[in-house]
Structure 1
């Protein structure tokens, strides 16, 4: 039993405490880098966990974010208690003026266009107001062509003779290579 008690080492303090102790013991005015902190902890506490470097990095970053440590020129040092708190990125928020007691803030209108009322009666179209010149505004509507063509004849033209809109389709090469098509072209 006595041999078991001798082999047991005192429990390892928490990593933040180990880091603070290492920085205080190294006592460098420019702070201590990660390697020197790690070597100091290894020299004082021989039985460290397998992921010591990962744990050390994690706790150093965590302590840096919370403001316990200051990271400057690749060195960590204890934060000065008299120093002003560090600001985040971006513009600081405007100070809020406190409301007098008894005054309640009204909830403002929500953003965006309000939804249409499904129970509202349908609206009639707006009446057209006459413009100063008597003509309607904008481009005039395209007039329908008479079916007889330019001459104005009343006979209806078959839809095959009326050209469709757009570019005509390409002529297929296979139709031109047939002997009948070649004879027609030469004649």
Structure 2
């Protein structure tokens, strides 16, 4: 009985040796040869047509390298198409205000300091350590304590008058309206 070699479906798939992805992308854009450039799907199809089977993470790797090349300036994106930058075009400027041009150093080789330093100047420091104040606050020159005076009770003149008038203290808030009886209509 001759046994056939076992076929294992979990055997690793061998992929052709691929050049680095930036080279693949640039060659695919050249191969598409469109004046508007090539979008991500056409670049992927061109790479697959050239190299056959690709790794499972091909789309992730392609997206990563396209974004990386776009950020570094190797590719430009125009209307969702990737194009190679024109070699005669001026370099792209970053966002924000451009930095000031640097001045040449004087002959001494040291940089002259600015006329005054930046920021708020420090408070003058005394040579003597600060004297700790006593825990109790000393009265001020006028003899009063600092801050708002404490709230006192109602004045003495209103309390006896209220007690003499009715003996009841008023509650908080606005008093209710007094209802007056109305006369019945004459024709009823």
TM-score, length basis structure 1:
0.57
Selected match of 1:117 from 106, 125, 130: 125
Q: Which has the higher helix share?
A: 1
Aligned counterparts of 1:44 and 1:54: Cα–Cα separation in 2: 19
1:14 is the counterpart of 2:20: yes
State the SS of the aligned residue for 1:86. coil
What is residue 80 of structure 1 aligned with on the other side?
A: 86
What is residue 155 of structure 1 aligned with on the other side?
A: none
What is residue 159 of structure 1 aligned with on the other side?
A: none
What is residue 69 of structure 1 aligned with on the other side?
A: 75
Aligned residues: 127
What is residue 151 of structure 2 aligned with on the other side?
A: 165
State the SS of the aligned residue for 2:122. coil
State the SS of the aligned residue for 2:67. helix
Query: Any gaps of 5 or more consecutive residues in structure 2?
Result: 1-12, 131-140, 145-149, 155-166, 169-188
State the SS of the aligned residue for 1:24. helix
Contact 2:29 2:38 in 1 (8 A): yes
What displacement does 1:62 show? 0.5
Matches within 5 A, 1:87-166: 87-107=93-113, 109=117, 111-114=119-122, 116-117=124-125, 119-120=127-128, 165=151
1:38 is the counterpart of 2:44: yes
- Residues 15 and 167 from structure 1, CA distance in 2 versus in 1: closer, same or farther, beyond 3 angstroms? farther
State the SS of the aligned residue for 1:105. coil
Aligned counterparts of 1:25 and 1:97: Cα–Cα separation in 2: 47
Query: Any gaps of 5 or more consecutive residues in structure 1?
Result: 1-6, 123-140, 145-163, 169-183
What displacement does 1:30 show? 0.7
CA RMSD, 1 decimal: 3.1
What displacement does 1:12 show? 0.8
TM-score, length basis structure 2:
0.56
